[in-house]
Structure 1
Amino acid sequence: MTVNKLRLTILIYANGYDKKCPNSSQWNFTSKSYGCVDQKIYICLLDGLETNDTKTVYTGRCGPADISKEGSKYILKPDLDQVPCAASQYQPFPFTTDGNSQCIFGKSLCKSSGQILAKNENSSTDASCRCDYRHNYDYVIPPKDPCLCKPAEEDCSCYIRKCENDKIMIADYRCMKRVDTILPEDIKCPIISRIIPPEEADTVYRKRFQPVSGSVTWSTQASVFLIVIVTIYTVTVFSLVLRK
Protein backbone atom coordinates (compact mmCIF):
# COMPACT_ATOMS: atom_id res chain seq x y z
CA MET A 1 0.00 0.00 0.00
CA THR A 2 1.45 3.36 -0.99
CA VAL A 3 1.83 6.27 1.40
CA ASN A 4 -0.88 8.25 -0.41
CA LYS A 5 -3.37 5.35 -0.16
CA LEU A 6 -2.51 4.89 3.52
CA ARG A 7 -3.06 8.58 4.17
CA LEU A 8 -6.39 8.47 2.35
CA THR A 9 -7.52 5.46 4.42
CA ILE A 10 -6.63 7.20 7.67
CA LEU A 11 -8.53 10.35 6.66
CA ILE A 12 -11.62 8.40 5.67
CA TYR A 13 -11.54 6.59 9.01
CA ALA A 14 -11.13 9.85 10.90
CA ASN A 15 -13.91 11.59 9.02
CA GLY A 16 -16.24 8.66 9.62
CA TYR A 17 -15.73 8.40 13.38
CA ASP A 18 -14.00 11.50 14.72
CA LYS A 19 -16.55 14.30 14.75
CA LYS A 20 -14.33 16.94 16.35
CA CYS A 21 -12.08 19.58 14.86
CA PRO A 22 -8.31 19.59 15.33
CA ASN A 23 -6.64 21.61 18.04
CA SER A 24 -5.31 24.97 16.84
CA SER A 25 -1.76 23.64 17.22
CA GLN A 26 -2.62 20.83 14.76
CA TRP A 27 -4.54 23.00 12.33
CA ASN A 28 -1.67 23.48 9.90
CA PHE A 29 -0.83 19.75 9.88
CA THR A 30 -4.47 18.82 9.27
CA SER A 31 -4.69 21.39 6.51
CA LYS A 32 -1.75 19.76 4.73
CA SER A 33 -3.28 16.29 5.27
CA TYR A 34 -6.42 17.43 3.49
CA GLY A 35 -4.33 18.68 0.60
CA CYS A 36 -5.49 22.29 0.99
CA VAL A 37 -3.31 24.80 -0.82
CA ASP A 38 -3.10 27.14 2.16
CA GLN A 39 -3.90 26.91 5.87
CA LYS A 40 -6.40 29.72 5.54
CA ILE A 41 -8.67 27.71 3.25
CA TYR A 42 -8.92 24.67 5.54
CA ILE A 43 -12.08 25.01 7.61
CA CYS A 44 -13.65 22.81 10.29
CA LEU A 45 -17.08 23.83 11.53
CA LEU A 46 -20.25 22.48 13.10
CA ASP A 47 -22.25 20.58 10.51
CA GLY A 48 -25.73 22.04 10.75
CA LEU A 49 -27.22 19.30 8.58
CA GLU A 50 -25.79 16.33 10.47
CA THR A 51 -26.01 17.68 14.05
CA ASN A 52 -29.16 16.88 16.02
CA ASP A 53 -30.33 16.34 19.62
CA THR A 54 -28.38 13.10 19.95
CA LYS A 55 -25.10 13.93 18.21
CA THR A 56 -22.83 16.87 17.42
CA VAL A 57 -20.91 16.63 14.16
CA TYR A 58 -18.06 18.83 12.97
CA THR A 59 -16.95 18.66 9.34
CA GLY A 60 -13.50 19.52 8.05
CA ARG A 61 -12.89 20.40 4.43
CA CYS A 62 -11.10 22.77 2.10
CA GLY A 63 -13.20 25.85 1.64
CA PRO A 64 -13.29 29.64 1.82
CA ALA A 65 -11.93 31.43 4.84
CA ASP A 66 -14.35 34.02 6.15
CA ILE A 67 -14.92 36.43 9.03
CA SER A 68 -18.23 36.94 10.84
CA LYS A 69 -19.33 39.78 13.09
CA GLU A 70 -18.75 39.75 16.84
CA GLY A 71 -21.12 37.56 18.84
CA SER A 72 -21.46 35.06 15.99
CA LYS A 73 -19.71 32.15 14.29
CA TYR A 74 -20.05 30.07 11.15
CA ILE A 75 -21.54 26.61 10.68
CA LEU A 76 -21.92 24.49 7.54
CA LYS A 77 -25.38 24.09 5.98
CA PRO A 78 -23.65 22.96 3.74
CA ASP A 79 -22.36 26.44 2.81
CA LEU A 80 -21.14 28.88 5.43
CA ASP A 81 -24.02 30.12 7.58
CA GLN A 82 -23.57 32.81 10.23
CA VAL A 83 -25.27 32.02 13.58
CA PRO A 84 -25.04 33.32 17.18
CA CYS A 85 -22.53 31.74 19.54
CA ALA A 86 -23.64 28.82 21.69
CA ALA A 87 -25.29 29.91 24.95
CA SER A 88 -22.22 28.99 27.00
CA GLN A 89 -19.82 31.01 24.80
CA TYR A 90 -19.23 34.55 23.60
CA GLN A 91 -17.20 36.25 20.87
CA PRO A 92 -16.19 39.87 21.66
CA PHE A 93 -14.45 40.39 18.31
CA PRO A 94 -15.00 39.10 14.74
CA PHE A 95 -14.88 35.33 14.32
CA THR A 96 -12.59 33.84 11.68
CA THR A 97 -12.71 30.33 10.22
CA ASP A 98 -8.90 30.32 10.09
CA GLY A 99 -8.05 28.05 13.03
CA ASN A 100 -11.42 28.32 14.81
CA SER A 101 -14.46 26.09 14.92
CA GLN A 102 -16.48 27.82 17.65
CA CYS A 103 -16.67 31.07 19.60
CA ILE A 104 -13.49 31.64 21.56
CA PHE A 105 -14.52 32.40 25.17
CA GLY A 106 -16.70 30.50 27.65
CA LYS A 107 -19.35 32.38 29.62
CA SER A 108 -18.85 32.85 33.36
CA LEU A 109 -21.28 30.62 35.27
CA CYS A 110 -21.36 32.66 38.51
CA LYS A 111 -21.44 29.55 40.71
CA SER A 112 -18.79 30.38 43.30
CA SER A 113 -19.90 30.65 46.93
CA GLY A 114 -22.58 33.33 47.28
CA GLN A 115 -22.62 34.24 43.59
CA ILE A 116 -25.64 34.45 41.31
CA LEU A 117 -26.08 35.46 37.69
CA ALA A 118 -26.73 39.19 37.34
CA LYS A 119 -26.82 39.78 33.59
CA ASN A 120 -26.55 37.57 30.51
CA GLU A 121 -27.54 39.77 27.62
CA ASN A 122 -25.93 38.67 24.38
CA SER A 123 -23.33 36.48 22.67
CA SER A 124 -20.68 39.19 22.31
CA THR A 125 -20.15 39.80 26.05
CA ASP A 126 -19.50 37.68 29.11
CA ALA A 127 -22.15 37.13 31.75
CA SER A 128 -21.98 39.31 34.88
CA CYS A 129 -22.27 38.07 38.46
CA ARG A 130 -23.37 39.56 41.75
CA CYS A 131 -23.43 38.51 45.38
CA ASP A 132 -26.72 37.18 46.74
CA TYR A 133 -27.78 39.81 49.28
CA ARG A 134 -30.83 37.69 50.19
CA HIS A 135 -28.46 35.42 52.09
CA ASN A 136 -26.26 38.25 53.40
CA TYR A 137 -23.53 37.84 50.78
CA ASP A 138 -21.52 40.93 49.90
CA TYR A 139 -18.46 41.54 47.70
CA VAL A 140 -15.03 40.88 49.17
CA ILE A 141 -13.74 43.65 46.90
CA PRO A 142 -16.41 46.14 45.76
CA PRO A 143 -16.65 46.17 41.93
CA LYS A 144 -16.83 49.30 39.80
CA ASP A 145 -20.57 48.82 39.47
CA PRO A 146 -21.97 47.83 42.88
CA CYS A 147 -24.90 46.09 41.22
CA LEU A 148 -22.87 43.60 39.19
CA CYS A 149 -19.35 42.28 38.73
CA LYS A 150 -17.44 41.29 35.58
CA PRO A 151 -15.47 38.08 36.28
CA ALA A 152 -13.10 38.59 33.34
CA GLU A 153 -12.04 41.97 34.73
CA GLU A 154 -12.68 41.93 38.49
CA ASP A 155 -12.55 39.74 41.58
CA CYS A 156 -16.18 38.75 42.10
CA SER A 157 -15.66 36.75 45.32
CA CYS A 158 -18.40 36.98 47.95
CA TYR A 159 -18.51 36.59 51.72
CA ILE A 160 -21.23 36.55 54.37
CA ARG A 161 -21.63 39.93 56.06
CA LYS A 162 -24.12 39.85 58.90
CA CYS A 163 -26.32 42.84 59.60
CA GLU A 164 -27.33 43.87 63.11
CA ASN A 165 -30.20 41.92 64.67
CA ASP A 166 -32.89 44.44 63.77
CA LYS A 167 -31.64 44.98 60.21
CA ILE A 168 -31.63 43.16 56.87
CA MET A 169 -29.49 43.51 53.76
CA ILE A 170 -31.24 45.05 50.78
CA ALA A 171 -30.44 44.92 47.04
CA ASP A 172 -27.71 47.57 47.14
CA TYR A 173 -26.01 45.76 50.05
CA ARG A 174 -26.96 48.27 52.74
CA CYS A 175 -28.31 47.06 56.05
CA MET A 176 -31.72 48.59 56.79
CA LYS A 177 -34.09 48.29 59.73
CA ARG A 178 -36.95 45.90 59.09
CA VAL A 179 -39.55 48.52 60.00
CA ASP A 180 -38.16 51.13 57.61
CA THR A 181 -40.14 51.91 54.46
CA ILE A 182 -37.90 51.64 51.40
CA LEU A 183 -39.03 53.33 48.21
CA PRO A 184 -37.95 51.94 44.81
CA GLU A 185 -36.01 55.08 43.98
CA ASP A 186 -34.01 54.67 47.19
CA ILE A 187 -32.65 51.26 46.16
CA LYS A 188 -29.60 51.67 43.96
CA CYS A 189 -29.48 48.10 42.61
CA PRO A 190 -32.17 45.87 41.04
CA ILE A 191 -33.95 43.34 43.19
CA ILE A 192 -32.89 39.78 42.30
CA SER A 193 -35.09 37.99 39.79
CA ARG A 194 -34.65 34.89 37.66
CA ILE A 195 -31.98 35.17 34.93
CA ILE A 196 -31.65 32.26 32.50
CA PRO A 197 -28.13 30.83 32.93
CA PRO A 198 -26.05 29.97 29.84
CA GLU A 199 -26.22 26.22 30.39
CA GLU A 200 -30.04 26.26 30.27
CA ALA A 201 -30.49 27.95 26.91
CA ASP A 202 -29.57 27.29 23.29
CA THR A 203 -29.20 31.00 22.64
CA VAL A 204 -28.38 33.83 25.01
CA TYR A 205 -31.69 35.49 25.81
CA ARG A 206 -31.90 39.17 26.60
CA LYS A 207 -33.06 39.02 30.20
CA ARG A 208 -32.74 41.87 32.66
CA PHE A 209 -33.76 42.27 36.25
CA GLN A 210 -37.42 43.07 36.45
CA PRO A 211 -38.11 46.68 37.46
CA VAL A 212 -39.04 47.23 41.07
CA SER A 213 -42.75 47.89 41.43
CA GLY A 214 -44.28 49.59 44.45
CA SER A 215 -42.70 50.26 47.82
CA VAL A 216 -40.40 47.65 49.28
CA THR A 217 -41.02 47.50 53.00
CA TRP A 218 -41.02 44.94 55.77
CA SER A 219 -43.68 46.91 57.62
CA THR A 220 -46.36 46.73 54.91
CA GLN A 221 -48.35 43.97 56.56
CA ALA A 222 -48.07 45.67 59.94
CA SER A 223 -49.32 48.95 58.45
CA VAL A 224 -52.34 47.25 56.89
CA PHE A 225 -53.13 45.51 60.17
CA LEU A 226 -52.89 48.82 62.05
CA ILE A 227 -55.26 50.52 59.60
CA VAL A 228 -57.80 47.73 60.06
CA ILE A 229 -57.60 48.02 63.88
CA VAL A 230 -58.00 51.80 63.79
CA THR A 231 -60.99 51.48 61.44
CA ILE A 232 -62.71 48.91 63.70
CA TYR A 233 -62.03 51.06 66.77
CA THR A 234 -63.45 54.18 65.07
CA VAL A 235 -66.61 52.36 63.98
CA THR A 236 -67.09 50.90 67.48
CA VAL A 237 -66.69 54.28 69.21
CA PHE A 238 -69.04 55.92 66.74
CA SER A 239 -71.67 53.21 67.37
CA LEU A 240 -71.44 53.72 71.15
CA VAL A 241 -71.88 57.46 70.75
CA LEU A 242 -74.99 56.95 68.66
CA ARG A 243 -76.50 54.61 71.25
CA LYS A 244 -76.09 57.23 73.98
Structure 2
Amino acid sequence: MYQQKFLDICRMYSKFTVFFCLIALPLLIQPYHLDCPSFAQWKLRGFGFCNNSSDYTCLLNTNENKYNEHCGLGLHFLVAGYKFVISGSLDRQQCRSKRFQPFTLPSNISSSCVLLKSECNEDGQIIFSEGTTTYDRSCRCNYIKNYAFVTKPKSSCYCLPSQEDCSCYKKKCPIDHYLSPDYQCVHFSKLTGIFQCPEIHKKKIQQCVDTTEELLTMKSTQDMNSSMNILVIHVVAMILVIVLCVGFFVLGKYFQHDQELFKQNLLEEIEILKLKRACAQLMIKFEDKYVQRKSSLLYVKVEVQDASIQCMVAFEMTRDESVQCESELLQDSLIQ
Protein backbone atom coordinates (compact mmCIF):
# COMPACT_ATOMS: atom_id res chain seq x y z
CA MET A 1 0.00 0.00 0.00
CA TYR A 2 2.76 2.41 0.94
CA GLN A 3 4.81 1.51 -2.10
CA GLN A 4 1.86 2.19 -4.39
CA LYS A 5 1.31 5.54 -2.68
CA PHE A 6 4.96 6.42 -3.13
CA LEU A 7 4.83 5.51 -6.83
CA ASP A 8 1.76 7.72 -7.31
CA ILE A 9 3.57 10.64 -5.70
CA CYS A 10 6.62 10.04 -7.91
CA ARG A 11 4.46 10.07 -11.04
CA MET A 12 2.78 13.30 -9.97
CA TYR A 13 6.13 14.94 -9.24
CA SER A 14 7.61 13.79 -12.57
CA LYS A 15 4.64 15.35 -14.40
CA PHE A 16 5.24 18.60 -12.52
CA THR A 17 8.95 18.51 -13.43
CA VAL A 18 8.18 17.96 -17.13
CA PHE A 19 5.67 20.82 -17.06
CA PHE A 20 8.20 23.13 -15.43
CA CYS A 21 10.87 22.16 -17.98
CA LEU A 22 8.50 22.88 -20.86
CA ILE A 23 7.86 26.34 -19.42
CA ALA A 24 11.58 27.04 -18.87
CA LEU A 25 12.72 25.60 -22.20
CA PRO A 26 11.85 28.68 -24.32
CA LEU A 27 13.94 30.82 -21.96
CA LEU A 28 16.91 28.50 -22.34
CA ILE A 29 16.77 28.41 -26.15
CA GLN A 30 19.08 31.03 -27.61
CA PRO A 31 19.52 32.06 -31.24
CA TYR A 32 22.44 30.40 -32.97
CA HIS A 33 25.28 32.74 -33.97
CA LEU A 34 27.81 31.31 -36.39
CA ASP A 35 31.46 31.98 -35.59
CA CYS A 36 34.05 31.10 -38.18
CA PRO A 37 36.55 28.40 -37.16
CA SER A 38 39.98 29.30 -35.94
CA PHE A 39 43.00 29.00 -38.19
CA ALA A 40 43.89 25.59 -36.71
CA GLN A 41 40.37 24.21 -37.38
CA TRP A 42 39.76 25.85 -40.75
CA LYS A 43 40.79 22.84 -42.83
CA LEU A 44 38.82 20.41 -40.66
CA ARG A 45 35.65 22.48 -41.06
CA GLY A 46 36.34 22.79 -44.80
CA PHE A 47 36.46 19.02 -45.23
CA GLY A 48 33.27 18.64 -43.21
CA PHE A 49 31.30 21.40 -44.98
CA CYS A 50 32.62 21.30 -48.55
CA ASN A 51 34.50 17.97 -48.72
CA ASN A 52 37.47 20.11 -49.76
CA SER A 53 39.21 22.67 -47.57
CA SER A 54 40.41 24.74 -50.57
CA ASP A 55 36.78 25.49 -51.59
CA TYR A 56 35.62 26.49 -48.10
CA THR A 57 35.20 30.14 -47.06
CA CYS A 58 33.67 31.71 -43.97
CA LEU A 59 33.36 35.48 -44.35
CA LEU A 60 31.55 38.39 -42.73
CA ASN A 61 28.37 39.46 -44.52
CA THR A 62 28.45 43.24 -44.06
CA ASN A 63 24.81 43.64 -45.12
CA GLU A 64 23.51 41.24 -42.45
CA ASN A 65 26.38 41.70 -39.97
CA LYS A 66 26.89 37.97 -39.56
CA TYR A 67 29.21 35.30 -40.88
CA ASN A 68 28.27 33.07 -43.84
CA GLU A 69 29.84 29.81 -44.96
CA HIS A 70 30.30 29.16 -48.68
CA CYS A 71 31.65 26.54 -51.04
CA GLY A 72 32.94 27.24 -54.50
CA LEU A 73 33.60 31.00 -54.39
CA GLY A 74 36.98 30.28 -55.89
CA LEU A 75 40.46 31.06 -54.68
CA HIS A 76 41.29 34.79 -54.48
CA PHE A 77 44.16 36.80 -53.01
CA LEU A 78 44.35 40.16 -51.28
CA VAL A 79 47.26 42.52 -50.79
CA ALA A 80 48.62 43.09 -47.30
CA GLY A 81 46.47 45.13 -44.92
CA TYR A 82 43.07 43.85 -46.15
CA LYS A 83 40.64 41.01 -45.42
CA PHE A 84 37.84 39.42 -47.45
CA VAL A 85 34.14 40.17 -46.74
CA ILE A 86 30.81 39.59 -48.46
CA SER A 87 29.04 42.80 -49.55
CA GLY A 88 26.57 41.41 -52.04
CA SER A 89 29.56 39.72 -53.64
CA LEU A 90 33.15 39.04 -52.67
CA ASP A 91 34.74 42.28 -51.49
CA ARG A 92 37.62 43.54 -49.35
CA GLN A 93 37.88 45.58 -46.17
CA GLN A 94 40.77 47.09 -44.23
CA CYS A 95 41.98 45.36 -41.09
CA ARG A 96 40.54 46.65 -37.85
CA SER A 97 42.63 48.72 -35.47
CA LYS A 98 43.41 45.70 -33.27
CA ARG A 99 44.78 43.56 -36.13
CA PHE A 100 47.27 43.78 -38.96
CA GLN A 101 48.01 41.76 -42.07
CA PRO A 102 51.65 41.93 -43.22
CA PHE A 103 51.40 39.44 -46.12
CA THR A 104 49.09 38.42 -48.97
CA LEU A 105 45.94 36.71 -47.70
CA PRO A 106 44.11 33.92 -49.62
CA SER A 107 40.32 33.79 -49.35
CA ASN A 108 40.32 30.22 -47.98
CA ILE A 109 42.57 30.85 -44.98
CA SER A 110 40.81 33.17 -42.53
CA SER A 111 37.83 35.49 -42.11
CA SER A 112 39.89 38.27 -40.53
CA CYS A 113 43.37 39.70 -40.56
CA VAL A 114 45.61 37.03 -39.15
CA LEU A 115 47.74 38.85 -36.55
CA LEU A 116 46.73 40.74 -33.40
CA LYS A 117 48.52 43.95 -32.57
CA SER A 118 50.57 44.10 -29.38
CA GLU A 119 48.85 45.68 -26.39
CA CYS A 120 51.92 47.40 -24.86
CA ASN A 121 50.41 46.82 -21.43
CA GLU A 122 53.28 45.14 -19.59
CA ASP A 123 54.84 46.73 -16.54
CA GLY A 124 56.08 50.25 -17.46
CA GLN A 125 55.09 50.05 -21.14
CA ILE A 126 53.08 52.59 -23.13
CA ILE A 127 52.19 52.81 -26.81
CA PHE A 128 54.72 54.64 -28.98
CA SER A 129 52.89 54.19 -32.29
CA GLU A 130 49.55 52.55 -33.20
CA GLY A 131 51.08 50.93 -36.25
CA THR A 132 49.18 50.39 -39.49
CA THR A 133 47.14 47.67 -41.17
CA THR A 134 50.44 46.05 -42.21
CA TYR A 135 52.64 46.80 -39.15
CA ASP A 136 52.39 46.03 -35.47
CA ARG A 137 52.21 48.60 -32.69
CA SER A 138 55.49 49.89 -31.29
CA CYS A 139 56.02 50.30 -27.54
CA ARG A 140 58.29 52.32 -25.30
CA CYS A 141 59.03 52.56 -21.59
CA ASN A 142 57.49 55.34 -19.54
CA TYR A 143 60.54 57.35 -18.46
CA ILE A 144 58.30 59.77 -16.52
CA LYS A 145 57.83 56.96 -13.98
CA ASN A 146 61.56 56.05 -14.20
CA TYR A 147 61.07 53.03 -16.49
CA ALA A 148 63.79 52.13 -18.99
CA PHE A 149 64.43 49.23 -21.40
CA VAL A 150 65.95 46.07 -19.96
CA THR A 151 67.58 45.38 -23.35
CA LYS A 152 68.34 48.28 -25.64
CA PRO A 153 66.17 47.91 -28.77
CA LYS A 154 67.26 48.47 -32.37
CA SER A 155 65.77 51.94 -32.15
CA SER A 156 66.82 53.56 -28.91
CA CYS A 157 63.40 55.23 -28.50
CA TYR A 158 60.94 52.33 -29.06
CA CYS A 159 60.76 48.63 -29.74
CA LEU A 160 58.64 46.19 -31.76
CA PRO A 161 57.15 43.49 -29.47
CA SER A 162 56.72 41.04 -32.35
CA GLN A 163 60.45 41.24 -33.15
CA GLU A 164 62.36 42.01 -29.93
CA ASP A 165 62.21 42.13 -26.13
CA CYS A 166 60.35 45.22 -24.88
CA SER A 167 60.59 44.58 -21.15
CA CYS A 168 61.01 47.60 -18.85
CA TYR A 169 62.46 48.07 -15.38
CA LYS A 170 62.61 50.92 -12.85
CA LYS A 171 65.90 52.74 -13.13
CA LYS A 172 67.26 54.58 -10.08
CA CYS A 173 68.89 57.98 -10.56
CA PRO A 174 71.05 60.00 -8.13
CA ILE A 175 69.60 62.87 -6.10
CA ASP A 176 68.53 65.87 -8.20
CA HIS A 177 68.72 63.70 -11.34
CA TYR A 178 65.82 62.55 -13.44
CA LEU A 179 65.35 60.06 -16.26
CA SER A 180 65.35 61.78 -19.65
CA PRO A 181 63.39 60.76 -22.78
CA ASP A 182 66.64 59.10 -23.92
CA TYR A 183 66.53 56.96 -20.73
CA GLN A 184 69.62 58.63 -19.25
CA CYS A 185 69.88 60.10 -15.75
CA VAL A 186 70.48 63.87 -16.15
CA HIS A 187 70.50 66.80 -13.75
CA PHE A 188 67.17 68.61 -13.44
CA SER A 189 68.77 71.75 -14.95
CA LYS A 190 69.34 69.93 -18.27
CA LEU A 191 65.87 68.45 -18.66
CA THR A 192 64.87 71.25 -21.02
CA GLY A 193 67.63 70.36 -23.48
CA ILE A 194 67.37 68.64 -26.85
CA PHE A 195 66.85 64.87 -26.76
CA GLN A 196 67.05 62.19 -29.41
CA CYS A 197 63.77 60.52 -28.41
CA PRO A 198 60.49 62.43 -28.39
CA GLU A 199 59.00 63.47 -25.08
CA ILE A 200 55.87 61.90 -23.69
CA HIS A 201 53.06 64.40 -23.55
CA LYS A 202 50.20 64.00 -21.10
CA LYS A 203 47.80 64.51 -23.96
CA LYS A 204 49.25 61.50 -25.75
CA ILE A 205 49.03 59.39 -22.62
CA GLN A 206 45.41 60.44 -22.16
CA GLN A 207 44.74 59.61 -25.80
CA CYS A 208 46.11 56.10 -25.27
CA VAL A 209 43.94 55.71 -22.19
CA ASP A 210 40.87 56.91 -24.12
CA THR A 211 41.64 54.48 -26.95
CA THR A 212 41.91 51.63 -24.48
CA GLU A 213 38.64 52.63 -22.81
CA GLU A 214 36.97 52.89 -26.20
CA LEU A 215 38.10 49.39 -27.12
CA LEU A 216 36.88 48.07 -23.79
CA THR A 217 33.54 49.84 -24.26
CA MET A 218 33.11 48.38 -27.74
CA LYS A 219 33.91 44.93 -26.46
CA SER A 220 31.56 45.37 -23.54
CA THR A 221 28.78 46.53 -25.88
CA GLN A 222 29.30 43.58 -28.19
CA ASP A 223 29.29 41.10 -25.33
CA MET A 224 26.35 42.64 -23.46
CA ASN A 225 23.62 40.58 -25.14
CA SER A 226 25.51 37.32 -24.81
CA SER A 227 26.28 38.10 -21.16
CA MET A 228 22.61 38.81 -20.44
CA ASN A 229 21.60 35.59 -22.18
CA ILE A 230 24.15 33.63 -20.16
CA LEU A 231 22.89 35.30 -16.97
CA VAL A 232 19.27 34.38 -17.78
CA ILE A 233 20.31 30.80 -18.53
CA HIS A 234 22.20 30.54 -15.25
CA VAL A 235 19.31 32.00 -13.24
CA VAL A 236 16.72 29.71 -14.85
CA ALA A 237 18.99 26.68 -14.44
CA MET A 238 19.60 27.59 -10.80
CA ILE A 239 15.85 27.96 -10.14
CA LEU A 240 15.21 24.62 -11.84
CA VAL A 241 17.89 22.90 -9.78
CA ILE A 242 16.56 24.45 -6.55
CA VAL A 243 12.98 23.36 -7.36
CA LEU A 244 14.10 19.83 -8.17
CA CYS A 245 16.23 19.61 -5.02
CA VAL A 246 13.41 20.93 -2.81
CA GLY A 247 10.95 18.57 -4.48
CA PHE A 248 13.15 15.54 -3.96
CA PHE A 249 13.85 16.62 -0.37
CA VAL A 250 10.13 16.94 0.42
CA LEU A 251 9.41 13.68 -1.38
CA GLY A 252 12.16 11.97 0.58
CA LYS A 253 10.78 13.32 3.88
CA TYR A 254 7.27 12.17 2.97
CA PHE A 255 8.49 8.73 1.99
CA GLN A 256 10.57 8.55 5.18
CA HIS A 257 7.46 9.37 7.25
CA ASP A 258 5.44 6.71 5.41
CA GLN A 259 8.26 4.24 5.88
CA GLU A 260 8.33 4.92 9.63
CA LEU A 261 4.56 4.40 9.83
CA PHE A 262 4.94 1.17 7.86
CA LYS A 263 7.66 -0.03 10.23
CA GLN A 264 5.53 0.88 13.25
CA ASN A 265 2.51 -1.01 11.88
CA LEU A 266 4.73 -3.94 10.99
CA LEU A 267 6.13 -4.05 14.54
CA GLU A 268 2.60 -3.95 15.97
CA GLU A 269 1.53 -6.82 13.73
CA ILE A 270 4.62 -8.78 14.80
CA GLU A 271 3.75 -8.21 18.49
CA ILE A 272 0.17 -9.37 17.86
CA LEU A 273 1.47 -12.49 16.12
CA LYS A 274 3.78 -13.16 19.07
CA LEU A 275 0.86 -12.84 21.49
CA LYS A 276 -1.26 -15.19 19.37
CA ARG A 277 1.59 -17.66 19.24
CA ALA A 278 2.02 -17.50 23.03
CA CYS A 279 -1.70 -18.01 23.54
CA ALA A 280 -1.68 -20.96 21.16
CA GLN A 281 1.22 -22.50 23.04
CA LEU A 282 -0.63 -22.04 26.33
CA MET A 283 -3.74 -23.68 24.87
CA ILE A 284 -1.68 -26.60 23.62
CA LYS A 285 -0.11 -27.05 27.04
CA PHE A 286 -3.55 -26.88 28.70
CA GLU A 287 -4.98 -29.46 26.30
CA ASP A 288 -1.98 -31.72 26.89
CA LYS A 289 -2.50 -31.54 30.65
CA TYR A 290 -6.24 -32.14 30.22
CA VAL A 291 -5.61 -35.17 28.03
CA GLN A 292 -3.03 -36.49 30.48
CA ARG A 293 -5.42 -36.03 33.38
CA LYS A 294 -8.30 -37.63 31.48
CA SER A 295 -6.12 -40.57 30.53
CA SER A 296 -5.01 -40.98 34.15
CA LEU A 297 -8.64 -41.00 35.31
CA LEU A 298 -9.47 -43.53 32.65
CA TYR A 299 -6.56 -45.70 33.81
CA VAL A 300 -7.80 -45.50 37.43
CA LYS A 301 -11.31 -46.45 36.31
CA VAL A 302 -9.97 -49.39 34.37
CA GLU A 303 -7.96 -50.51 37.35
CA VAL A 304 -11.05 -50.24 39.58
CA GLN A 305 -13.08 -52.24 37.08
CA ASP A 306 -10.35 -54.86 36.92
CA ALA A 307 -10.24 -55.08 40.71
CA SER A 308 -14.03 -55.51 40.93
CA ILE A 309 -13.92 -58.20 38.29
CA GLN A 310 -11.18 -59.96 40.18
CA CYS A 311 -13.24 -59.69 43.36
CA MET A 312 -16.26 -61.20 41.62
CA VAL A 313 -14.12 -63.99 40.21
CA ALA A 314 -12.72 -64.67 43.65
CA PHE A 315 -16.21 -64.65 45.12
CA GLU A 316 -17.41 -67.10 42.50
CA MET A 317 -14.43 -69.31 43.14
CA THR A 318 -15.12 -69.21 46.86
CA ARG A 319 -18.74 -69.99 46.26
CA ASP A 320 -17.81 -72.95 44.04
CA GLU A 321 -15.50 -74.26 46.72
CA SER A 322 -18.24 -74.01 49.39
CA VAL A 323 -20.72 -75.87 47.18
CA GLN A 324 -18.15 -78.55 46.52
CA CYS A 325 -17.47 -78.84 50.22
CA GLU A 326 -21.16 -79.17 51.01
CA SER A 327 -21.57 -81.87 48.38
CA GLU A 328 -18.65 -83.81 49.84
CA LEU A 329 -20.13 -83.57 53.33
CA LEU A 330 -23.45 -84.77 52.00
CA GLN A 331 -21.84 -87.78 50.36
CA ASP A 332 -20.02 -88.67 53.55
CA SER A 333 -23.24 -88.60 55.53
CA LEU A 334 -24.98 -90.87 53.05
CA ILE A 335 -22.21 -93.40 53.17
CA GLN A 336 -22.43 -93.63 56.84
TM-score by length of 1: 0.67
- Distance in 2 (CA, whole Å) between partners of 1:134 and 1:181 is 12
Give the match for residue 107 of structure 1.
Answer: 117
Give the match for residue 43 of structure 1.
Answer: 57
Give the match for residue 21 of structure 1.
Answer: 36
Change (3 A) 1:83 1:182: same
Q: Which of 37, 61, 64 pairs up with 2:70?
A: 61
Give the match for residue 213 of structure 1.
Answer: none
CA contact under 8 A between 1:43 and 1:64: conserved in structure 2?
A: no
CA contact under 8 A between 1:168 and 1:178: conserved in structure 2?
A: yes
Q: CA deviation at 1:101?
A: 1.1
Give the match for residue 144 of structure 1.
Answer: 154
Q: How does 1:210-229 map to 2 (within 5 A)?
A: none
Larger Rg: 2
Q: Deviations over 1:2-41 (max 9, x none)?
A: xxxxxxxxxxxxxx723211233443443344446x4322
- Distance in 1 (CA, whole Å) between partners of 2:177 and 2:57 is 60
More helix per residue: 2
The number of aligned residues is 178
Q: CA deviation at 1:122?
A: 0.7
- Distance in 1 (CA, whole Å) between partners of 2:44 and 2:156 is 48
CA contact under 8 A between 1:107 and 1:198: conserved in structure 2?
A: no
CA contact under 8 A between 1:117 and 1:127: conserved in structure 2?
A: yes
TM-score by length of 2: 0.49
1:192 equivalent in alignment to 2:237: no
Paired residue secondary structure (1:31): helix
Q: Deviations over 1:120-156 (max 9, x none)?
A: 1311011011000000000111111110011111111
- Distance in 1 (CA, whole Å) between partners of 2:47 and 2:55 is 11
- Distance in 2 (CA, whole Å) between partners of 1:39 and 1:48 is 23
CA contact under 8 A between 2:131 and 2:138: conserved in structure 1?
A: no
Residue ranges of structure 2 left out of the alignment (5+ in a row): 1-30, 216-336
Task: Name the % identity.
Answer: 33
CA contact under 8 A between 1:87 and 1:199: conserved in structure 2?
A: no
More strand per residue: 1
- Distance in 2 (CA, whole Å) between partners of 1:127 and 1:191 is 18
1:153 equivalent in alignment to 2:163: yes
Q: Deviations over 1:135-194 (max 9, x none)?
A: 0000111111110011111111100002111111111111221123633xx300011141
- Which fold has the larger relative contact order, with Cα–Cα distance below 8 Å and residues 6 or more apart in sequence? 1
- Distance in 2 (CA, whole Å) between partners of 1:120 and 1:66 is 29
Q: CA deviation at 1:42?
A: 1.6
Change (3 A) 1:181 1:159: closer
1:70 equivalent in alignment to 2:80: yes
CA RMSD of aligned residues (A): 2.1
Give the match for residue 222 of structure 1.
Answer: none
CA contact under 8 A between 1:72 and 1:82: conserved in structure 2?
A: yes
- Distance in 1 (CA, whole Å) between partners of 2:192 and 2:100 is 38
- Distance in 2 (CA, whole Å) between partners of 1:96 and 1:113 is 37
Residue ranges of structure 1 left out of the alignment (5+ in a row): 1-15, 52-56, 202-244
- Distance in 2 (CA, whole Å) between partners of 1:90 and 1:33 is 29
CA contact under 8 A between 1:118 and 1:148: conserved in structure 2?
A: yes
Paired residue secondary structure (1:60): strand
